[in-house]
Amino acid sequence: MSYISFRIKLSAFSALCAISAAGYAQTDVYEQWRESWMKTYEETMPELKVEIKKPVAAVKGVKDDAAFQGWRMEKAMSIEEFYNAPFNGNSGIVIDFGEHMTGEFTFNLRQGWKTPDAPIKLKFTFGEVPSEVCTPFDPFPGGSLARAWLQDETVTVSTVGEPVTIPRRVAFRYVKIELIGHSYDFHFADMQCAATTSASGEPARLPESASEIVRDINRVSLNTLKECMQTVYEDGPKRDRRLWIGDLYLEALANMYSFKNHELTKHCLYMMAALAAPDGMLYSTAFERPKAHPQYETQIADYSLLYNVALLDYTLASKDIETARDLWPVVQNQIKYAQRYVGDDFIYDRQRDRGLWIFFDWTPGLNTDIAIQGAMIFSLKKSAELAKLVGDNDSAAQWIELAAKMREAARQKYYDEKEGVFFAGPEKQLSHISQIWMILSDVVTPKEGAKALKKVLADKNAVYPGTPYANHYLVEAMIKCGMNKEAKKFLVDYWGGMVKKGADTFWEVYDPNDDFRSPYNFFPINSYCHAWSCTPVYFINKYPEIFQK
Amino acid sequence: MSYISFRIKLSAFSALCAISAAGYAQTDVYEQWRESWMKTYEETMPELKVEIKKPVAAVKGVKDDAAFQGWRMEKAMSIEEFYNAPFNGNSGIVIDFGEHMTGEFTFNLRQGWKTPDAPIKLKFTFGEVPSEVCTPFDPFPGGSLARAWLQDETVTVSTVGEPVTIPRRVAFRYVKIELIGHSYDFHFADMQCAATTSASGEPARLPESASEIVRDINRVSLNTLKECMQTVYEDGPKRDRRLWIGDLYLEALANMYSFKNHELTKHCLYMMAALAAPDGMLYSTAFERPKAHPQYETQIADYSLLYNVALLDYTLASKDIETARDLWPVVQNQIKYAQRYVGDDFIYDRQRDRGLWIFFDWTPGLNTDIAIQGAMIFSLKKSAELAKLVGDNDSAAQWIELAAKMREAARQKYYDEKEGVFFAGPEKQLSHISQIWMILSDVVTPKEGAKALKKVLADKNAVYPGTPYANHYLVEAMIKCGMNKEAKKFLVDYWGGMVKKGADTFWEVYDPNDDFRSPYNFFPINSYCHAWSCTPVYFINKYPEIFQK
């Protein structure tokens, strides 16, 4: 079989079927596929749309205990007034661009009364939310996260009258400007952001029947998704600016029900495929620059399994069966890899191979034994569906059989029929996450699921979701159990809570009871435009009968 | 007379002679000349030579009372060792490029053990001398000068492995690097400076007969000039990065006896001419960006007069008589303007028109009445010499006559024949500057001049020069009076003093008794590569019998 023939996707698929019994990772053939996937990744690089955005007002932060994180913005002057006044007296002012944007910030100065005869030093602090430009960054309490994520940039302007672009992409609505060094009066003459996104197309408008809060949630959700859609699905345009499989899965769902930019999903699927480890297991996150590369330290069991689901959803939405065929080895590898952890009792045991990172949520102390069992069953079933689509009926049959055995094992080991809930570990931990994944994987019937969910939701001692990411799966599980009213109420309360607190885009972290919650010990370093919070647009548009009425 | 004909230089000259009696400033004709001069300024824009320079060692500042400004550099490790070690432990290290350079600084990082997953924030502090990278800049005590001149730049590196160029031209030998924010180990992979100069050509080598210190002074002088030769003669590549007529005059002299890059002199003469005030008086300083423009607040009487001298010297050195013809209105305007200040007693009186800035030196309390009288006579005589070269014999005759009358008036008003010195003002101020300009303008004979100079040099109460700029004229005056030994001793003591203190380039301010002297109340903001200190190369090469033996 020649090298050339492998680059033809259909041939690659046939070849795969022929050699899959012998194992297709760590072979020359597999390396050639990875090269081919990298080529497709490069060929599908999206073009960014650039829109020049101008500021709308000069504002100042006002301490207000009733406002989100204690700060609200009050108008200080119009932009015309700001440009007309010498800047020297306005050091510390905040410029409001009126909406969240992601891109390059450019400004220009013009001289005042005297000929400028020295450089000017200015400090710009970009913030997605008011508190970011009102809270001192130093001494930096943010522990393990890099201080460098904070978007403060000090710039030396050598020539008044020559536009200066800050050499860093920024994500912001507000920018505070402070004067560090000067020797004469000067004015700001212009400010703009060359805002980028790869989102295009007009998402469907909600009908009149949708409530105002649902419309608002839909709008903020769309903005969040748009801002995260760059040359990949980023997890956050401020932080961490990279592709994660978990976010890819959720963003692709939201995209399916809004911009329908399936090419970006395809691009991201190919990126992760091309960068997989030599043994075929996907890395969970990847960087685009200086050239595409994974984070070699990061493999997450549940993300690996979700890749297959994302590929199925992409295939169904785009009708692009060729991509599924081309990436078929990746699907097989993820199942194969996960199978190593499944014991003779058909229980997923993370200790079987080596301690693997299982994520699901940031909640401290969360026992994920049940969730990973559920996620594997979920992935097996979705992968089998995809197997049928690409014509690999042997795999489909095997995986359906395995899923059934794992379902049975899960019920036996984890389900407390009397209580109607799943308990994890010797400590019998009751968590939302465990119930959610037993529901999504059909380990319980909708009726059983509804009972479990209601019980866990009512139990104040239950381990509850800590992220919008986990809350996405909670809403999905509610809908699957027919808890439509509860799903709508939860969506309106949770995401609507952010809207009511002034969110332009949905936040990485949201605890309705604690505005300052941060996994990083410093709330200004939280991302306030985060992919995994963008899924209301998916729910609202996929289930109009639930959310649009 | 058509517009076109005015753009032909020789025609312009004829036209000038025809209308000069009627006044040629503030006329359409004059505006057309200025346009034509601007065109020549643009056409003569020099190409910068770019040389990639690499660092030579990693060093650290060591407190040493015996060292210049209390700091010396000690080798910390080789550059290879620096690149091989993770940077994280080396924050605060200083990189030594081994020589003074002016240009763009670029660096690259490479990853350590872990995949970089966050930006890195670094602070670079560029210094021409060791103390600049060892002295905290804040709180900034530098009063009226802009803090922004200090060359500290904080940079966010978004992608490890992509070279970063600091978006500001820097002038330095040393660069201190501090780590502000990171979350993983990394290395520096490369550092370089794309150093620029418009100096070219090989200056003559000094013969074996020249002493070591004179060779060293010559070398440092050449480096200073080379660094200041950019697209104009800058006064200092670190500060203030612009053309001043006074520096232009001295740099052009040094250039005549070294690089012989007369095109740069021409370019600068045209720049100042094109930017003169509507009344024809030159501004004293100009900026190149965003487009050529003068500092509208700054006209200096002595600088205006020196322009004519610089043009004569240029004409004699380059044999380019056409430029002198083309710029002839400028020469006439400067004399004409100065004449407004000359009273019926043929004494220059700065109060006649309006209080004008007369510079000569930064010495506090200096009375410049005598010096400006001398500078005007000096300029009249040089301008008359140029008038003869361009064939304007009427002007030549008038100016020679005026110079003679002003000479006589100066002797009568200011010369104390008994004491053999010139006293200025009612307070009878005795200063070096007064004697120097009476000598350079031939108001006294060399014999009288030598007597005056020796007297003032011996008088501890005399007002002595405060800058290398003033010291240049002192050496010139000494030579004019035949005080060759004294001139050589002074040059070796003064400029050689900087060399012995480790100067790579000559400094803006040098007081042998006070390393920390600064007109700006903060010595790190002094320029340590300053045009007006570069003239030893002129003296050493113009007067080989004095300095090379």
> Within this chain, do residues B188 and B146 fall inside the same structural domain, yes or no?
yes
Question: Is residue B122 in a domain?
Answer: yes
Calculate how close chain B gets to A188, using CA atoms only, in Å. 16
CA B432 to the chain's CA centroid: 21
Question: Is residue A35 domain-resident?
Answer: yes
Look at residue A493 and tell me whether its pLDDT is greater than 50: yes
CA distance B151 to chain A (A): 9
Chain A: residue whose CA lies nearest to B239: A118
Q: Judged by CB atoms within 8 Å, which residues 261-320 of B form the interface with A?
A: 285, 287, 289-290, 293-297
Give a yes or no: residue A314 inside a domain.
no
Q: Are residues A181 and A62 in the same domain?
A: yes
Tens of pLDDT, residue by residue over B246-288, are: 999 999 999 999 999 999 999 999 999 999 999 899 999 999 9
Q: Report the candidate in A13, A46, A43, A33 with the shortest Cα–Cα distance to residue A274.
A: A33
Site from B117, B295, B522 to mutate, A interface, most A CB atoms within 10 angstroms: B117
Q: Identify whether residues A63 and A159 lie together within a single domain.
A: yes
In three state form, how does the secondary structure of B42-103 look?
HHCCCCCEEEEECCCEEEEEEECCCCHHHEEEEEEECHHHHHHCCHHHHCCEEEEEEEEEEE
Both tokens assigned to B56: 């030579």
Are A294 and B115 within 8 A, CB to CB? yes
Nearest Cβ partner for A153 among B120, B156, B290? B156
Chain B hits for A118, Cβ within 8 Å: 145-146, 148-149, 239-240
* Mean pLDDT value across chain B: 94
Cβ contacts of B240 on chain A, cutoff 8 Å = 117-118
Tens digit of each residue's pLDDT (9 = 90 or more) over A518-534: 989 999 999 999 999 99
Among B147, B181, B197, the domain-final residue is B197
Summarize pLDDT for A230-272 with one digit per residue, the tens: 999 999 999 999 999 999 999 999 999 999 999 999 999 999 9
Are the C-beta atoms of B101 and B167 separated by less than 8 Å? no
What tens digit of pLDDT does each residue of A318-351 get?
999 999 999 999 999 999 999 999 999 999 998 8
Assess whether A35 and A129 both reside in one domain: no
**How much is the pLDDT for A364?**
87
Is residue B442 one of the residues assigned to a domain? no
Which pLDDT band, with edges at 50, 70 and 90, does B23 fall under? low
**Does residue A86 belong to any structural domain of this protein?**
yes
User: Measured between alpha carbons, how far is A256 from A246 in angstroms, rounded to an integer?
Assistant: 16
Percent of chain B scoring above 70 in pLDDT: 95
Count of the separate structural domains present in chain B: 2
**Mutation target among B140, B145, B147 for the A interface, most CBs of A within 10 A:** B147
A23, A152: one domain:
no
A181–B121 C-beta distance less than 8 A:
no
The answer to whether residue B92 scores a pLDDT higher than 90 is yes
Contacts of A157 in chain B (CB under 8 A): 148
Phi first, then psi, for residue B61 (nearest 5°) are: -75, 135
Per-residue CA distances from A200 to A46, A289, A531, B291 (Å):
11, 24, 17, 40
Q: Which residues of B touch A114 (CB under 8 A)?
A: 297
Q: A285 contacts in B (CB within 8 Å)?
A: 117
Cα separation, A27 vs A279, in Å, equals: 9
CB contacts, 8 Å: A293 with chain B:
115
Choose from A110, A115, A159, A239 for mutation: most chain B CBs within 10 A. A115
Residues of B (196-235) whose Cβ lies below 8 Å from A: none
Burial class (CB in 10 A: 0-12, 13-18, 19+), A111: middle
C-alpha distances (whole Å) from B269 to each of A305, B38, B39, B42 are: 73, 10, 13, 12
Interface test with B, best of A117, A149, A162, A284 (most B CBs within 10 A): A117
Rounded distance, CA A494 to CA A511, Å? 9
Element (H, E) at A321: helix A321-326
Nearest CA in chain B to A139: B180
The residue among A197, A230, A251 that closes a domain is: A197
Q: Are residues B28 and B159 in the same domain?
A: no
Tell me, yes or no, whether B130 and B12 share the same domain: no
| SS3 track for B389-408 | HHCCHHHHHHHHHHHHHHHH
Q: Which of A253-267, A354-368, A478-492, B81-95 has the lowest mean pLDDT?
A: A354-368
Domain span holding position B15: 3-43
Verify that A7 and A112 share a domain, yes or no.
no
Q: Are residues B94 and B61 in the same domain?
A: yes
For residue A20, pLDDT over 60 is answered with no
Region of poorest pLDDT, from A164-173, A196-205, A490-499 = A196-205
For position A354, what pLDDT does the model report?
A: 72
Which of B197, B216, B241 is the C-terminal boundary of a domain? B197
- Could you say which of A150, A161, A285 has the minimum Cβ distance to residue B290? A161
Inter-chain touch B118–A180, beta carbons under 8 Å:
no
B140 and chain A in contact, CB less than 8 A = yes
Which residues in chain B have their CB less than 8 angstroms from residue A146's CB? 118-121, 181-183
If phi > 0 it is left, if psi is from -120 to 50 it is alpha, else beta; for residue B291 that is: beta
This model of the complex carries an ipTM of 0.93
Query: Residue B448: is its pLDDT beyond 90?
Result: yes
More confident residue, A21 or B498: B498
pLDDT, tens digit (0-9, with 9 covering 90-100), for B430-439? 999 999 999 9
Q: Say whether residue A150 is in contact with chain B using an 8 A CB cutoff.
A: yes
- Shared domain for A24 and A53, answered yes or no, is no
Residue B2: its pLDDT value, please? Answer: 30
The CATH number given to whatever domain includes residue B182 is 2.60.120.260
CB pair distance less than 8 Å for B146 and A119: yes
Residue B525 in contact with partner chain A when CB distance is under 8 A: no
Statement to judge: residues A110 and A145 lie in one domain: yes
Q: Tally A–B CB contacts below 8 A.
A: 127
**Residue B24 has what pLDDT?**
57
Our CA-based measurement puts residue A237 at a distance from the nearest CA of chain B, in whole angstroms, of 12
Q: How confident is the model at residue B28 (pLDDT cuts 50, 70, 90)?
A: confident
Let me know whether B21 and B72 are in one domain: no
- B365 part of contact set with chain A, CB < 8 Å: no
What number is the average pLDDT over the span B83-92? 96
pLDDT of A475: 98
The pLDDT of residue B111 is: 95
Q: Are A171 and A151 in contact (CB under 8 A)?
A: yes
- Asked, as a colleague might, if the bond just before A130 is cis with ω within 30 of 0, I would say no
Residue A12 has pLDDT above 80, yes or no: no
Judge whether A121 lies within some domain: yes
- Minimum distance, in Å, between the CA of residue A179 and any CA atom of chain B: 10
Higher pLDDT, B9 or B202: B202
Each residue's pLDDT tens digit, A378-421: 999 999 999 999 999 999 999 999 999 999 999 999 999 999 99
Q: Is the pLDDT of residue B8 over 70?
A: no
DSSP code for A508:
S
pLDDT tier at B3, thresholds 50, 70, 90:
very low
Is there a contact between B115 and A290 if contact means CB atoms under 8 Å apart? no
